Copies of this chain bind each other. A is one copy, B any other.
Amino acid sequence: MSTPTFFEGPEKKVELVVVEGHASLRSLGDVFWHEVVAAADAQVLSKLEGSACDAYLLSESSLFVYDGYLTMITCGQTRLVNAVRVILERIGADKVALLMYERKNEHFPDRQHSTFYDDATALRTLVPGEALRFGDEHDHHVHLFHTTAAYGVHAPDDTTLEILMHGLAPEVADRFVGASAKSGQTIANAHGFDDLLPGFAIDEHAFTPAGYSMNALRDSDHYTVHVTPEQLGSYVSFETNLDFRGRFREIVQGVTDIFQPRSFDVMAFTPADSAKLSLSLPGFQTKDRVLTRVHGYEIRFWHCFVPTSEAGEASPVPLG
């Protein structure tokens, strides 16, 4: 089957927490993490070493390795489940305290090597688990596989925020085609990230001919941004483990102000009963909302979009 030229921005993501008392995941070393990344059909572009985290910038997204957990995000046609398999072969499946595997619905699922169901079924041969869908199956949604073994949230500030943005304003997308940093300033900071989230060390990469990825570290906090500016399927993801609870609306508004998407999803993980989160941004309507508890977390999902006030023209579809 064929599709027009495109790059699949929407990602797969795994978060893996090891049991208490386990040796530091960071001590497994660069050679091992390069193997893990290669297993997913990606490669390491660069590494930022922080006090609490090794942040690897990848040819397809990012890997953050902490002592007790890791977050790996890959886009395109990568096979993230294969990376999970390599990690579990090394540490042993019985050392997994919690594994969560997410997959955003793709623009061109026919070009993927597997469906979410394939991935979840494969993961369930490694660790007991079950699957959920956040959002309408006919519309934007995120699938989540999670282990079912008993788990309690360990840290009171154990939060995750994902903002998955579709259809960037064309003038914003253009700035990520052949982007380059100006002297004395990163591309990230030229777009206002340092104002929104100050004090982070930044490792960034502009892709040829188009695209942009960055990892940012500040003590035990990270955030990461990946931009697919191609017009057919333009997409940006933002992910952070920063404790966003006091600044939820401000961060979502700040990030969406930078990229001006036509629509976006938010996934938010917080310890249960620790935050009341509501989302109402000027110019956007909320179409879908989900709130579910899993293992002591509240997991929330929103899909928001810009309503159209007037009928637009149909879009030409270039044929091969």
Which residues of A approach B to under 8 Å, CB–CB? 1-4, 107-110, 112-118, 120-121, 124, 130-134, 136-140, 143-144, 166-167, 232-233, 262-263, 285-292, 299-301, 305, 307-308, 310-317, 319-320
A117 close to B313 (CB less than 8 A): no
Query: What residues of B have a CB within 8 angstroms of the CB of A131 in the complex?
Result: 316-317, 319
Query: What residues of B have a CB within 8 angstroms of the CB of A107 in the complex?
Result: 137-138
B308 close to A287 (CB less than 8 A): yes
| Residue from the list B118, B144, B300 in contact with A2, Cβ < 8 A | B118
Most buried by B among A118, A136, A263: A136
Query: What residues of B have a CB within 8 angstroms of the CB of A263 in the complex?
Result: 136, 138-139
Query: What residues of B have a CB within 8 angstroms of the CB of A118 in the complex?
Result: 1-2
Looking at the assembled complex, report how far the CB atom of A315 sits from the nearest CB atom of chain B, in whole angstroms.
5
B262 close to A121 (CB less than 8 A): no
Query: What residues of B have a CB within 8 angstroms of the CB of A110 in the complex?
Result: 109-110, 112, 115
Query: What residues of B have a CB within 8 angstroms of the CB of A319 in the complex?
Result: 117, 120-121, 124, 130-131
Bound-state CA distance A134–B312 (Å) is 9
A137 close to B233 (CB less than 8 A): yes
A233 close to B314 (CB less than 8 A): no
B308 close to A133 (CB less than 8 A): no
Excluding A130-B316, A289-B311, 7 further A-B contacts by CB distance (< 8 Å) are: A3-B115, A116-B317, A121-B320, A132-B314, A138-B167, A139-B139, A300-B311
Bound-state CA distance A288–B315 (Å) is 13
The chain B residue with its CB closest to the CB of A312 is B290
A2 close to B289 (CB less than 8 A): no
A2-B140 in contact given A300-B311, A311-B289 (Cβ < 8 Å):
no
Query: What residues of B have a CB within 8 angstroms of the CB of A310 in the complex?
Result: 289
Bound-state CA distance A159–B317 (Å) is 24
| Residue from the list B114, B289, B313 in contact with A292, Cβ < 8 A | B313
Query: What residues of B have a CB within 8 angstroms of the CB of A262 in the complex?
Result: 136, 138
Looking at the assembled complex, report how far the CB atom of A205 sits from the nearest CB atom of chain B, in whole angstroms.
25
A311 close to B285 (CB less than 8 A): no
Query: What residues of B have a CB within 8 angstroms of the CB of A167 in the complex?
Result: 136, 138
Query: What residues of B have a CB within 8 angstroms of the CB of A113 in the complex?
Result: 1
The chain B residue with its CB closest to the CB of A116 is B317
| Residue from the list B166, B292, B313 in contact with A138, Cβ < 8 A | B166
